[in-house]
Amino acid sequence: MSDTKTFLITGVSTGLGRALARAALAAGHRVVGTVRTPADVHAFEALAGDAHARILDVTDHDAVDTVVDETERDLGPVDVLVANAGYGHDGLFEESSMDDLRRQFEVNVYGTVAVIKAVLPHMRKRRSGHIIAVTSMGGLITMPGLSFYHGSKFAVEGILETLGKEVAGFGIHVTAVEPGSFRTDWAGRSMIRAPRVIADYDELFEPLRARRIHGSGHQPGDPDKAAAAVLRIVAADQPPTRLLLGTDALRLVQAGRDAFEREMVTWAQLSGPQRGASRRPSSPGRPPLGPPQPDLLVAVHATQRLHRDTDPLGGDGGRIAVLGDWRFGSAIKGARARSTCASPTRERTPRTPPSFCRPRRPGRPTGTSS
Helix (H) or strand (E) holding 249: helix 247-266
Residue 185's contacts (CB-CB under 8 Å, 6 or more residues apart) are: 14, 15, 191, 216
DSSP lists the bridge partners of residue 187 as none
Coil vs helix vs strand at 316:
coil
| DSSP label at residue 312 | T
- Write down the catalytic residue from 87, 110, 149, 201: 149
Please tell me what DSSP assigns to residue 89: E
Q: Among candidates 69, 8, 10, which has minimal Cα distance to 36?
A: 10
Taking the C-alpha atoms of residue 186 and residue 134, their distance in angstroms, rounded to an integer, is: 12
Report d(CA 358, CA 341) in Å as an integer.
9
Dmax (CA) of the chain: 82
Q: What is the CA radius of gyration of the chain?
A: 25
SS3 290: coil
d(CA 296, CA 313): 40
Q: Cα(first)–Cα(last) distance of the chain, in Å?
A: 59
Q: Is 110 a catalytic residue?
A: no
Instruction: Could you list the beta-strand ranges (E) of the chain.
Output: 6-10, 30-35, 50-55, 80-83, 88-90, 129-134, 172-179, 191-193, 242-245, 306-309, 320-323
Pair 178, 242: CB distance under 8 Å: yes
DSSP 299: H
CA dist., res. 182 & res. 84, Å (int): 14
d(CA 239, CA 175): 7
Phi-psi category of residue 237: left, alpha or beta, with phi > 0 → left and psi -120 to 50 → alpha = alpha
Q: What positions carry a catalytic annotation?
A: 149
